[in-house]
Amino acid sequence: MSRFRTYRTEGVVVRQMPLGEADRILTLCSPDKGKVRAVAKGVRRMKSRFGGHLELLNRASVAVSMGRNLDTINEASAINTYGGIRADLRRVSRAMYIAELVDGFSMEGNGNREMYALLLRALTWLENASNLDLLLRWFEIRLLDVTGYTPELVHCVECRAWLKPGDHLFVCESGGAICPNCRAESSGALLPLPMNTMKTLRFIQRELAFDKVEALTVPEGIRKDMERLLRTYIRHIAEREVRSAEFVSLTV
Amino acid sequence: MTTDSVRAAAPVARLADEFSKLPGIGPKTAPRLAFYLVRMPEEDALALAEAIVAVKERVVLCSVCYNIAETDLCIVCANPRRDRTRICVVEDALDVIALERTNIYRGLYHVLHGVISPQNGIGPEDLHIRPLLDRLQADDIEEIILAINPNLEGDATSMYIQQLISPFGVRITSLARGLPVGGDLEYADDITLGRAIEGRQEL
Ligand SMILES: [Zn+2]
Ligand SMILES: [Zn+2]
């Protein structure tokens, strides 16, 4: 093994933490290497050669050298800085939320091209979308889809029977809705899944692009139901709270 | 520790370990500093130790602006010649020192002690934002200068504060943004260059 192994990739900066006096530890989500954690030396200095190329949420191409503990970024050049997001606090807080989810769902050394493509699409939509919270719901559903956690909303998650029209319940442990027959035997925590909420979720689940979802008029009650259900389900999968959610709620 | 000599002398290794916790001190510098102290005259070493203890025992946060202080008020707030109608909001106390070095700003400060960084567990309630609003309510403030570091989290913090203080009707300004002195246009990223062109000035 040579001493200076380097690789090139691109990624979106989904997390940053200050390190020492002028460095940062960055987490990038990349299409081929999955989660990349690397040090950007001197990035906080005014005259840093990285300038703003490695800002949080930037899509950047990077050259990375592998270290024993942490990798180091040698070169970086921004591909997209998503300027439409940065000047609007509501968009920034939601972008932070998206970045936190992607950070939580990506794995080191294991690229997920579908998730990466989804992240780019979501950030692009976030620059101009008018219904920001519906965008987050669409993103959550799509994210669950590309990471193998698609919520089952058509058949009973226990007995596979088709779910008849009506109000149902959602079981986080099983990742789907259950029919009235299986309800009694289910030991997991149950979340309400009223018929119209289920219909809206099913619609969003079918939409790979956000434009048709954005055109939906979703009543307040259904929006709240969807938010609660998806948040609880994601918390169950990630085994922790999405910390940016509170900041999102402060920036309406 | 890597070298045998350091491993042999436990007190030196311990000191080097402590140094390595400081920002900017790497695994090579830490033992070098420790060995330097071994050779240092005793009174100099004791003065250093006392200075460290004094920092922890005597330095408090200013009750008005949260700058570091030796008494209830920091030297800026205690100075009667400062302009009390302006407050410059900064991320940490080092930024106060940097701005004071310019000798241009004569107003007061407000130190947040961080920026909003939800992923790192820092929300608005973890910063000293509420006391800033109290100052706006209690004093005759004409201008708030937001001098928070220009990056995504810093900007989010600025925008959040702006949202909270805009009902007070004071003038809200921010530091000029643009190219760092000594920087080359061709190496500038889009965000920096975009702001530099937006913030262009009449000549
Ligand atoms: Zn069933
Ligand atoms: Zn003070």
Q: What is the ipTM of this complex?
A: 0.91
> CB-side exposure of B163: number of CA atoms within 13 Å?
14
The rounded distance, in Å, linking the Cα atoms of B31 and B33 is 5
Provide the domain limits for residue A32: 6-81
Indicate the SS3 state at residue B65: coil
Intervals of CATH 3.40.1360.10 along chain B = 76-198
Same domain, A244 and A154: yes
Same domain, A95 and A171: yes
Dihedral pair phi/psi, residue A211, rounded to 5°: -60, -40
The rounded distance, in Å, linking the Cα atoms of B162 and B155 is 10
What pLDDT shows up at residue B183? 64
Please say whether the beta carbons of A230 and A248 come within 8 A: no
Intervals of CATH 1.10.8.420 along chain B = 4-58
Residue A11 tokens, joined: 């990624």
In tens, the pLDDT along B153-192 reads 999 999 999 999 999 999 999 988 777 766 677 777 787 7
Same domain, A121 and A195: yes
Whether residue A1 lies inside any domain: the answer is no
Residue A217 CB partners (closer than 8 Å, separation 6+):
none
Same domain, A193 and A127: yes
Tell me B66's DSSP state.
-
CATH code at position A184: 1.20.1440.120
Same domain, A36 and A131: no
Which of the four CATH numbers 3.40.1360.10, 3.30.70.260, 2.30.40.10, 1.10.4010.10 does domain B76-198 have?
3.40.1360.10
The rounded distance, in Å, linking the Cα atoms of A213 and B34 is 63
What pLDDT shows up at residue B182? 62
- Residue among B99, B108, B55, B56 at smallest CA distance from B81: B108
In tens, the pLDDT along B112-143 reads 999 999 999 999 999 999 999 999 999 899 99
What pLDDT shows up at residue A112? 96
Same domain, A174 and A147: yes
Dihedral pair phi/psi, residue A109, rounded to 5°: 75, 10
Whether residue A18 lies inside any domain: the answer is yes
Please say whether the beta carbons of A57 and A99 come within 8 A: yes
Tell me the CA–centroid distance for residue A170 and ligand 2, in Å: 54
Same domain, A104 and A175: yes
CATH code at position A36: 2.40.50.140
Query: Nearest CB to B23: which of A21, A89, A96?
Result: A21
Tell me A31's DSSP state.
T
What pLDDT shows up at residue B1? 44
Residue tagged 């913090």 (tokens) = B157
Tell me how many degrees the CA angle A121-A124-A130 measures, rounded to the nearest 5: 115
Residue B167 tokens, joined: 């009902």
| Record: contact A52-B118, CB cut-off 8 A | no
Q: Which residues surround ligand 2, an ion (CB under 5 A)?
A: B 62, 64-65, 67, 74, 77
Please say whether the beta carbons of A207 and A213 come within 8 A: yes
Return the residue in A12, A13, A15, A16 with the most chain B beta carbons within 10 A, the one to mutate for interface testing.
Answer: A16
| Record: contact B187-A22, CB cut-off 8 A | no
In tens, the pLDDT along A218-244 reads 999 999 999 999 999 999 999 999 999
Q: Is the pLDDT of residue B6 over 50?
A: no
Tell me the CA–centroid distance for residue B107 and ligand 2, in Å: 11
Tell me the CA–centroid distance for residue B72 and ligand 2, in Å: 8
Q: Which residues of chain A have pLDDT under 70?
A: 1-4
What pLDDT shows up at residue B7? 57
- Average pLDDT over chain B reads 88
Cα distances (angstroms) measured from residue B73 to each of B61, B87, B127, B201: 8, 15, 19, 38
Same domain, A209 and A125: yes
Same domain, A132 and A174: yes
Element (H, E) at A16: strand A6-19
Task: Report strand pairing: A23-30 vs B143-146.
Answer: unpaired
Tell me the CA–centroid distance for residue A139 and ligand 1, in Å: 28
- Residue among A139, A176, A142, A175 at smallest CA distance from A156: A176
The rounded distance, in Å, linking the Cα atoms of B129 and B163 is 12
Cα distances (angstroms) measured from residue B178 to each of A222, B22, B147, B150, B195: 45, 31, 14, 10, 6
What pLDDT shows up at residue B58? 86
The rounded distance, in Å, linking the Cα atoms of A141 and A226 is 10
Give me the helix-helix angle, A220-238 and A195-206, nearest 10°. 70
Same domain, A183 and A213: yes
Query: Does pTM surpass 0.80?
Result: yes
Same domain, A112 and A63: no
Whether residue A188 lies inside any domain: the answer is yes
Please say whether the beta carbons of A135 and A214 come within 8 A: yes
The residue among A59, A81, A103 that closes a domain is: A81
What percent helix, strand, coil does chain B show, rounded to 5?
50, 10, 40
The structural architecture, per CATH, of the domain B4-58 is Orthogonal Bundle (1.10)
What pLDDT shows up at residue A15? 96
Please say whether the beta carbons of A25 and A37 come within 8 A: yes
Q: How far is B23 from chain A (nearest CA, A)?
A: 4
In tens, the pLDDT along A117-150 reads 999 999 999 999 999 999 999 999 999 999 999 9
The residue among A34, A64, A81 that closes a domain is: A81
Whether residue A215 lies inside any domain: the answer is yes
Same domain, A16 and A141: no
Residue B105 tokens, joined: 């700003």
**How many domains does chain A divide into?**
2
The residue among A23, A47, A81 that closes a domain is: A81
